[in-house]
Amino acid sequence: MLNRSSYNEEVCRWDVFEIQYNGQDDNDAYIKSYIKGRFTGKFEEKTVDGFYDGEGKFIIRFMPSFEGEYTFHVQSSFFDAADTGSFMVKAPKKENHGPVRVHNTYHFAYEDGTPYYSIGTTCYVWHLQTDEMIEKTYELLESAGFNKIRFCVFPKHYAYNLNEPRDYPYAGKPMDSCVLSVENFNSYNGRAEGNEWNYMQFNPSYFRHIESCILRLQALGVEADLILMHPYDRWGFSCMDREADDLYLTYVTARLSAFRNVWWSLANEYDLMQAKSLKDWEHFADLICRQDPYLHLRSIHNCVHFYDYTRPWVTHCSIQRQDLYKSAEFVQEWRRHYKKPVVLDEIAYEGNIQYGWGNITAMEMVRRFWETACRGGYAGHGETYLNEEDILWWSHGGKLIGESYKRFSFLHEILCETPGYGLKPYERTSWDEVCAVPEEIGANGSYYLYYYSFMQPAFREFNITDTKEYEVYIIDTWEMTKTKVGIRSGKFKLILPGKQFIAVMLKAVQQK
Amino acid sequence: MLNRSSYNEEVCRWDVFEIQYNGQDDNDAYIKSYIKGRFTGKFEEKTVDGFYDGEGKFIIRFMPSFEGEYTFHVQSSFFDAADTGSFMVKAPKKENHGPVRVHNTYHFAYEDGTPYYSIGTTCYVWHLQTDEMIEKTYELLESAGFNKIRFCVFPKHYAYNLNEPRDYPYAGKPMDSCVLSVENFNSYNGRAEGNEWNYMQFNPSYFRHIESCILRLQALGVEADLILMHPYDRWGFSCMDREADDLYLTYVTARLSAFRNVWWSLANEYDLMQAKSLKDWEHFADLICRQDPYLHLRSIHNCVHFYDYTRPWVTHCSIQRQDLYKSAEFVQEWRRHYKKPVVLDEIAYEGNIQYGWGNITAMEMVRRFWETACRGGYAGHGETYLNEEDILWWSHGGKLIGESYKRFSFLHEILCETPGYGLKPYERTSWDEVCAVPEEIGANGSYYLYYYSFMQPAFREFNITDTKEYEVYIIDTWEMTKTKVGIRSGKFKLILPGKQFIAVMLKAVQQK
């Protein structure tokens, strides 16, 4: 028998409403018992799974999408009759805009309609580092203005990250990692031998910690792009059987779906996970669609081969570039092909490690961001500089050494000037420039954002067919300056700095 | 009746043997009369056309490919009987290696077997500038170490080059160029109106000047990649009729074929010449093959669409890159596809003009050269910086302002270290590096040249399957340093500078 121990009588829209129940401690509760809640307000009714949080505690969470009075109706294998009650949903706080949704086919907006221009980064297991380092990560995320972070639920085993995580997701014990070396670590990839886990018994503290991280991110305005599976693994979590995989995904979705800033990334480099087939991925996607009542954003990330992003469950492309030289430059093609938001979650990382995916310059990273943005997509950052403490942002968070991250807030500010929602590539522009215009037809002719990438023109000639007058700005994307040149219209010549990474913004003068 | 007025009794192998005849001044002699010579040595017999040089002078030229005694046997419409005689061919001077030939499918060598690693540049009408500027061009060609220059036979009408040339190829007079402006010049492209030329009557001084330029280039070790036709024209030379085109090509080949450093480029941006069809180009190629007894190198250069470089008359690809972002990176594909030397005659120019083909950085230019070289091809330079004198190297020669040209001699020195003839891309190398190995199978395992392009690895790991020992050098392609690290073999780690544009050379230690 369970006793309700706590619940919120009031909650803000898009925050987590939670009810806790106390009962008997039982390690089999993860598989043997169920708890389910039906939540009913004036405009919605949702049924959600609860979960076992260990030590006899059951929890059920719900994210209300509307304001007003709600009732709950909870059923469980431990109840004779349903537990019921009610609560009030208040207006959200100012900085709470709800979950991020696809908007306008190629872009994102928060559920309240605020545009969301993704400036992402990748720190695969930042949350499994020391508290001190985790705090540093928060600080950096905030100061750099990132609004999305990709990270793994499971711990990571890879070059520059052979240490043990702070905790494990399952009851049991890991293989003895003293056998590992820089030379042999690869041969332990995707192996389960030596580990003794009970995949039917979670370690709730592991997940509670992730939840606290997600909440802190939420407070910072950062979306948590959660990687559910990945191949960099010596514990066997990448090669569990179907029963264990399903239990894991069911548990994770029950625990985490009510957090508004969660995105689901089915896998990082799905095509390197040899134990899984396309059929498996489709099965997992189906399970997540069923288990997540809030329809959080969903995608899957590739190594060599793109997943078929046309699949209906995929809300946006999560792309690792396939070409060493070109990445951002393909955004237009991918938009045309997939008709979904194009997020380049991996375009190589700024750094100097030995691998080609982790040693581009800061300038090239910033160039890829702008090139992506002006083609109507969203790029992602990561950093992999060698350093004495062996703290590589891409894996650990904690520390940024480079130069690119300082320049994304500026890009974000520029993106926020877009009339309507999001940019699209202007198709009738010259072959030797990128030009972005507003995605929305209603904003036609009101705004042009030209980008000259690695080229260094000392001037350019413009011929705007629209009869409007435009405020003209020259933007140095590297130095982060935006200089007003004056008002121009029609055909005109613009003197430019004759250096790389320059953009030009034309903004229609507002009619009085 | 013609009288022989001069000829050389002795000539060096691959130099020009020339006989001159005097007769009646006749402006119709370009079309009405012929002069032909048969030249016979122990190892060759060649029949070549002579040409009318104006003022009653006929000239016949021959380039002997062997040493020893030769006889000549000249017939003309002005002779009753043939004019005959003999001359001696001596050994060539040290710096004379003969014409450049295709060697080893993908590379070039002089006829005496000396490898030729092409380091080209483009100055379309440098030879039509003032004597003073022409002298400056020679100085720069020499100091920069260029060994090929692309330029046009006809004058050029284009942005930054609207001035009149120093001379014209035909008798007659040009349109009045005072009607031209920066705004309207494009509308005069490929038009003949306003010009009054007699296409049946050449202006020999124009061609004599070109010959003097070709000879000076020869003395500097520079190949003259002659562009026979091009679309940047307000005089009508780009839209002559078939009769005039044929007469022109016959005349040019008769005058210039005997110069060993001549290459034939049928056209620059052939696909922009709307008055010509593919059939025309094939016809011109056929004519040149018939008229040039020495089989100089032949190609044709594109704007948007590649010519079909598999055509048998094409000796090598002369490519303008089609992609704004990638150029050098396609060399492997083009080698595979065309099975001929890949010369990237236009990969955009270092500079800062408004056009995307003329505003890349020096670093990007040098990067494209190395990237091309390490993939077994040859890149070409050009420069388009705005300046007060309006002297843009790409059009006028005379002046180089940039930074890339200072770095090609260094690349050339490195290429000269290649065992055998030329480099090919090593197919079994890592995805994130370019690695060149000797083209010749006999040199297998003796040499590796790695290039890391825009990546900045702080170290790389090597695993050479060959059991040889190698001298290891780190090359900074921008700073032009080559630093010996030591002897290595098998599996080893190499600390690198962690900056862009680094190469690593492994040279098998010579067995004693």
Write the DSSP assignment of A430-482 as a string of letters: -TTSEEEEESSGGGTTSEEEEE-TT---SEEEEE--S---EEEEEEETTTTEE
pLDDT at position B92: 98
B493 in Cβ contact with B461 (< 8 Å): yes
CA angle centred on A452, ends A451 and A456, rounded to 5° = 150
Q: How confident is the model at residue A183 (pLDDT cuts 50, 70, 90)?
A: confident
Instruction: For chain B, list residues with pLDDT below 70.
Output: 512
Residue environment code for B9-37, b if the CB has 16+ CB neighbours within 10 A, otherwise e: eebbbbbbbebbbebeeeeebbeebbbbb
> Average pLDDT of A459-468?
93
Determine the residue of chain B that is closest to A349 in CA distance.
Answer: B455
The residue with greater pLDDT, A266 or B193, is A266
The minimum CA-CA distance between B304 and chain A, rounded to whole Å, is 11
Structure-block tokens of residue B299: 């190609």
Residues B241-250: contacts with CB under 8 Å, at least 24 apart: B241/B199, B242/B280, B242/B283, B243/B199, B244/B199, B244/B200, B245/B280, B245/B284, B246/B287, B247/B30, B247/B31, B247/B199, B247/B200, B248/B169, B248/B199, B249/B284, B249/B287, B249/B288, B249/B291, B250/B49, B250/B287, B250/B291
Give the per-residue pLDDT at B122: 98
* Six-digit token string for B495: 């600390």
pLDDT surpasses 90 at A190: no
Distance CA A244, CA A198 (A): 9
Looking at CATH, the fold of the domain delimited by A427-508 is given as: Immunoglobulin-like (2.60.40)
B352 → closest Cβ in A326, A458, A461: A458
Q: A471-494, pLDDT tens digit by residue?
A: 999 999 999 999 999 999 999 999
pLDDT of residue A244: 98
Contact B356 A454 (CB under 8 A): no
Q: What's the one-letter identity of residue B277?
A: S
CB atoms within 10 A of CB B6: 10
**Which of A239, A129, A161 has its CA nearest to residue A195?**
A239
What are the start and end residues of each CATH 3.20.20.80 domain in chain A?
A: 100-416
**Pair A209, A168: CB distance under 8 Å:** no
Q: Residue A268 — very low, low, confident or very high, per pLDDT cuts 50/70/90?
A: very high
Residue count of chain B: 512
Mind listing the pLDDT tens digit for each residue in B160-194? Answer: 999 999 999 999 999 998 888 888 888 888 888 89
Instruction: Return the closest-CA partner of residue B75 out of B56, B57, B50.
Output: B50
Three-state SS for B352?
A: coil
Domain A100-416: state its class: alpha beta
> Which chain B residue shows the shortest CA-CA distance from A364?
B454
Q: For domain B103-164+205-416, give the CATH number.
A: 3.20.20.80
Which residues in B lie closer than 8 A to residue A360 (C-beta atoms)?
454-456
Q: Which residues of A are less than 8 Å from B351 in CB distance?
A: 456
The mean pLDDT of A125-135, rounded to a whole number, is 98
Residue type, B479: E
Q: Between chains, do A457 and B325 touch, taking CB under 8 Å as contact?
A: no
Identity of the residue in A359, A386, A457 whose CB atom sits nearest the CB atom of B352: A457
| A26 and B CB contact within 8 Å | no
What is the DSSP-derived secondary structure letter of residue B340?
S
Contacts of A39 (CB under 8 A, 6+ apart): A17, A45, A46, A47, A48, A62, A64, A70, A71, A72, A73
Triad B355, B129, B143: Cα angle to 5°: 80
Q: How far is B471 from chain A (nearest CA, A)?
A: 21
CA distance B140 to B408: 12
Report d(CA B446, CA B314) in Å as an integer: 32
Minimum mean pLDDT among A128-137, A172-181, B216-225: which range?
A: A172-181
Answer whether residue A181 shows pLDDT above 90.
no
DSSP assigned state of A306: P
pTM: 0.96
User: With an 8 Å Cβ cutoff, is B433 touching chain A?
Assistant: yes
Q: Of A206, A303, A314, which Cα lies nearest the Cα of A263? A: A314
CATH class of B3-90: mainly beta
CA end-to-end distance (rounded Å), chain B: 69
Q: Does A497 touch chain B (CB under 8 A)?
A: no
Non-local CB neighbours of B91 within 8 Å, separated by 6+ positions: B12, B13, B67
Residues of B in contact with A461 (CB under 8 A): 354
Domain with CATH 2.60.40.10 in chain A: 3-90
Is B344 in contact with B331 (CB distance < 8 Å)? yes
Residue-level pLDDT at B492: 97
Half-sphere exposure of A34 (CA within 13 A, CB side): 8
Residues in A closer than 8 angstroms to B357, CB to CB, are 432
Q: Percent of chain A scored above 90 by pLDDT?
A: 91
Which tokens sit at A443?
């904003």
pLDDT for res A466:
84
What ipTM score was computed for the predicted complex, to two decimals?
Answer: 0.94
Query: pLDDT at position A414, please?
Result: 98
> Which residue intervals of chain A bear CATH 2.60.40.3950?
427-508
B361 contacts in A (CB within 8 Å)?
A: 454, 456, 500
Half-sphere exposure of B455 (CA within 13 A, CB side): 28
Q: Mean pLDDT, to the nearest integer, of A149-175? A: 96
Q: Which amino acid is residue B74, in one-letter code?
A: V
Q: Which of B359, B361, B461 sits opposite A354 (nearest CB)?
A: B461
Write down the residue that tokens 């389910």 correspond to.
A36
Taking the domain B430-508, which CATH number applies?
A: 2.60.40.3950
The residue type of B323 is D
Q: If you measure CA to CA, which chain A residue comes closest to B433?
A: A356
Cα–Cα distances (Å) from A1 to A23, A75, A83, in that order, read 6, 12, 12
- Six token digits for residue B253: 């080949």
Q: Which of B357, B364, B433 sits opposite A454 (nearest CB)?
A: B364
Q: CA angle B407-B410-B413, nearest 5°?
A: 155
Task: Tell me which residues of chain B, numbers 207 to 266, contact chain A at a CB-CB cutoff of 8 Å.
Answer: none
Given this model, what pLDDT does residue B189 score? Answer: 87
Match 């843009």 to its residue by tokens. Answer: B392
Question: What would the pLDDT profile of A198-235 be if each residue is shown by its tens digit?
Answer: 999 999 999 999 999 999 999 999 999 999 999 999 99
Task: Dump pLDDT digits (tens) for A65-115.
Answer: 999 999 999 999 888 889 999 999 999 999 999 999 999 999 999 999 999
For A37-62, the pLDDT digits (tens) are: 999 999 999 999 999 999 999 999 99
At B512 the pLDDT is 60
Q: What is the pLDDT of residue A407?
A: 98
Give me the residue label for tokens 């894991």.
A248
What pLDDT, on a 0 to 100 scale, did the predictor assign at position A74? 96
Query: A377 and A368 in contact (C-beta within 8 Å)?
Result: no
Distance from CA of B303 to the nearest CA of A (A): 13
Q: How many CB pairs under 8 A join A and B?
A: 79
Using CA atoms, how far residue A247 sits from A238, A252, B267, in Å, is 14, 9, 68
Rounded CA separation B226/B307 (Å): 17
DSSP E strands: which ranges in B281-384?
Answer: 298-299, 317-320, 342-346, 350-351, 378-381, 383-384
| Contact of A235 with A197, CB cutoff 8 Å | yes
B424 and B376 Cβ atoms separated by less than 8 Å? yes
Question: What pLDDT does residue B417 have?
Answer: 96
Spatial contact of A336 and A361, defined as CB atoms under 8 Å apart: no
Please count the helices (runs of H) and the strands (runs of E) in chain A.
Answer: 9, 32
| B325-329, Cβ contacts within 8 angstroms, sequence gap of 24 or more | B325/A325, B325/A326, B325/A329, B326/A325, B326/A326, B327/B368, B327/B372, B328/B367, B328/B368, B328/B369, B328/B371, B328/B372, B328/B375, B328/B377, B328/B379, B329/A324, B329/A325, B329/B371, B329/B375
pLDDT band at A512 (very low <50, low <70, confident <90, very high): low
